[in-house]
């Protein structure tokens, strides 16, 4: 019967899913009903026998005793058969509906269900109770999919179950319409986003093309600052190879005469790759110019009429260290090896700012690595750099290089290595 203040609606829920049971219990309790929860049909049957509820809500698929079995027991008990019983299930085949009719269920709700819809089903059943004389109707034979079913539900139960089945179908259809509308809106939105994406891709392609052109132009500028293919100096044979791994590289090299008997040689290795590293490498290269002036690093102008003064390698790196502090270079740093070769005496003087050792190969094939004390340029103020002097003989060879040689990798990411580079 309908709930009143003096006769609160007492509901038993049979649901093996703890989460779904808690959600259902919360909604029913929020509507003012008294709720007990059983985790399976057998536990619910005990609750119903001990204290018959006003209405029963049962899942179908449960262990120990399923919803059909619980419904059949309730509807077979003369003292309990008038209690309305709602079946909950994810099942939706016609055979499931007929099975609900066979066991005498009063209503049938398909999962997932709307909580307000289920509450409305509860209220509807309480307002249209099954009369005592109608708890069991005449036997009705139903054939479905070649299988015969015997249904004894009352007319009211059949009507309630058919109405609930129809309402379920309407609700599912409405839900399908809502989903289709959402899909249509999503499709329209996706179409707009695809159009926007195509426009952005076109802009990106244009920007990338411009950037590629700019990088290519910058690479040409960088290459133009390298020694020319026909660069020659008197008193020594010079050769070089420059292979950047990207369009723009952080490595840089050069050689040029300082006067009629001295040649300057240097290799610079800026950390990283790309535009920032390349710009710093080019900046350093431009600072190491052979043009004599008051501010020149390599050759300083002396008094009028006197020859320009060639700055020793250690002093060159010390001055470079003071002019290029690395704190403001965005995490970049660089190493450098600067050398001066006297073509008359064959004396080679060099200083290193944390760079790879210089390799000297004598005419007889003996090989030696020579290093000079000094850390990467720009890391410490007032850094002093060591200067090393080598006496070379005709036929000797000297190699200046960056760590890009020894750290070059093959297809399996194995480094070439210093030992292989030196032929050990």
Distances, alpha carbon 282 to alpha carbons 41, 353, 379, in Å: 83, 17, 19
Residue 10 has pLDDT above 90, yes or no: yes
Residue 144 has pLDDT above 60, yes or no: no
358, 313 contact by CB (below 8 A): no
Helix (H) or strand (E) holding 165: helix 155-224
Give the pair of three-digit tokens for residue 30: 């929020």
- Angle at alpha carbon of residue 337, lines to 332 and 340, rounded to 5°: 145
Taking only the tens place, the pLDDT of each residue in 159-217 is 666 666 666 666 667 778 888 888 888 888 888 888 888 888 888 887 777 766 655 66
Q: How confident is the model at residue 127 (pLDDT cuts 50, 70, 90)?
A: confident
Domains and CATH numbers, the chain: 10-183 (3.40.50.2300), 226-422 (3.60.40.10)
Read off the pLDDT of each residue in 292-315 and give the average, rounded to a whole number: 79
Separation CA 111–CA 15 (nearest Å): 12
| Structure confidence at residue 141 (pLDDT) | 62
- Angle at alpha carbon of residue 370, lines to 364 and 376, rounded to 5°: 155
Residue with more model confidence, 302 or 22: 22
- Angle at alpha carbon of residue 216, lines to 214 and 221, rounded to 5°: 95
- Angle at alpha carbon of residue 384, lines to 383 and 390, rounded to 5°: 140
pTM of this structure? 0.51
Residue with more model confidence, 328 or 17: 17
| Structure confidence at residue 274 (pLDDT) | 66
% of the chain with per-residue pLDDT over 90: 25
Residues ≥6 apart with Cβ < 8 Å to 238? 227, 231, 232, 255, 263, 265
| Structure confidence at residue 177 (pLDDT) | 84
Average pLDDT of every residue of the chain: 80
Residue with tokens 């009429």: 305
The most confident of the ranges 143-157, 227-241, 257-271 is 257-271
DSSP H helical segments within 18-154, as ranges?
Answer: 18-30, 41-50, 67-76, 94-103, 115-127
Residue with more model confidence, 125 or 140: 125
| Structure confidence at residue 5 (pLDDT) | 37
Residue 142 has pLDDT above 60, yes or no: no
Separation CA 194–CA 385 (nearest Å): 60
Q: How confident is the model at residue 52 (pLDDT cuts 50, 70, 90)?
A: very high
HEC readout, 378-424 = CCCCCCCCCEEEEECCCCCEEECCCCCCCCCECCCCCECCHHHHHCC
Please name every residue paired with 409 in a beta bridge, in sequence order, or none if there are none.
Answer: 415
% of the chain with per-residue pLDDT over 70: 77
Residue 131 has pLDDT above 60, yes or no: no
Taking only the tens place, the pLDDT of each residue in 55-92 is 999 999 898 899 999 999 999 999 998 899 998 877 56
Bridge-based pairing of strands 262-270 and 347-353 is: unpaired
Cα–chain center distance at 68? 49
Read off the pLDDT of each residue in 9-22 and give the average, rounded to a whole number: 91
| Structure confidence at residue 149 (pLDDT) | 56
Neighbour-count burial of 314, counting CB atoms closer than 10 A to its CB (0-12 exposed, 13-18 middle, 19+ buried): buried
């Amino acid at each position: 019967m309908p709930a009143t203040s003096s006769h609160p609606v007492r509901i038993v829920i049979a649901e093996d899913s703890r989460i779904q049971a808690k959600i259902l219990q919360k909604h029913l309790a929020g509507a003012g009903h008294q709720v007990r929860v059983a985790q399976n049909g057998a536990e619910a049957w005990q609750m119903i026998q001990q204290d018959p509820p006003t209405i029963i809500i049962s899942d179908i698929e449960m262990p120990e005793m399923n919803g059909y079995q619980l419904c059949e027991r309730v509807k077979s008990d003369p003292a309990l058969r008038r209690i309305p019983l709602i079946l909950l299930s994810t099942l939706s085949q016609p055979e499931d509906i007929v099975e609900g009719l066979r066991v005498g269920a009063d209503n049938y709700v398909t999962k997932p269900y709307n909580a307000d819809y289920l509450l409305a089903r509860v209220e509807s059943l309480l307002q249209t109770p099954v009369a005592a004389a109608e708890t069991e109707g005449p036997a009705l034979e139903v054939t479905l999919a070649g299988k015969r079913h015997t249904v004894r539900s009352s007319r009211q139960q059949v009507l309630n179950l058919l109405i609930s089945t129809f309402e379920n179908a309407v609700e599912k259809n409405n839900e399908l319409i809502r989903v289709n509308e959402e899909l249509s809106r999503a499709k329209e939105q996706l179409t707009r986003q695809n159009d926007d994406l195509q426009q952005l891709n076109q802009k990106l392609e244009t920007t990338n093309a411009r950037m590629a052109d700019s990088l290519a132009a910058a690479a040409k500028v960088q290459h133009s600052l390298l020694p020319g293919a026909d660069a020659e100096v008197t008193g020594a044979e010079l050769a070089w190879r420059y292979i950047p791994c990207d369009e723009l590289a952080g490595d840089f090299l050069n050689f040029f005469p300082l006067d009629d008997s001295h040649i300057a040689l240097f290799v610079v290795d800026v950390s990283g790759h790309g535009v920032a590293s390349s710009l710093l490498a080019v900046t350093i290269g431009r600072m190491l110019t052979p043009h004599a002036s008051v501010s020149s690093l390599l050759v300083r102008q002396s008094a009028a009429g006197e020859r320009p003064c060639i700055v020793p390698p250690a002093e060159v790196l010390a001055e470079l260290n003071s002019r290029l502090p690395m704190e403001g270079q965005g995490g970049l740093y660089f190493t450098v090896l600067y050398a001066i070769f006297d073509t008359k005496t064959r004396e080679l003087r060099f200083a290193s700012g944390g760079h790879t050792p210089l390799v000297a190969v004598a005419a007889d094939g003996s090989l030696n690595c020579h290093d000079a004390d000094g850390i990467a340029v720009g890391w410490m103020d007032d850094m002093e750099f060591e200067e090393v002097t080598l006496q070379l003989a005709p036929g000797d060879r000297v190699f200046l290089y960056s760590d890009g040689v020894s750290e070059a990798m093959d297809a399996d990411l194995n480094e070439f290595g210093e030992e292989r580079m030196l032929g050990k």
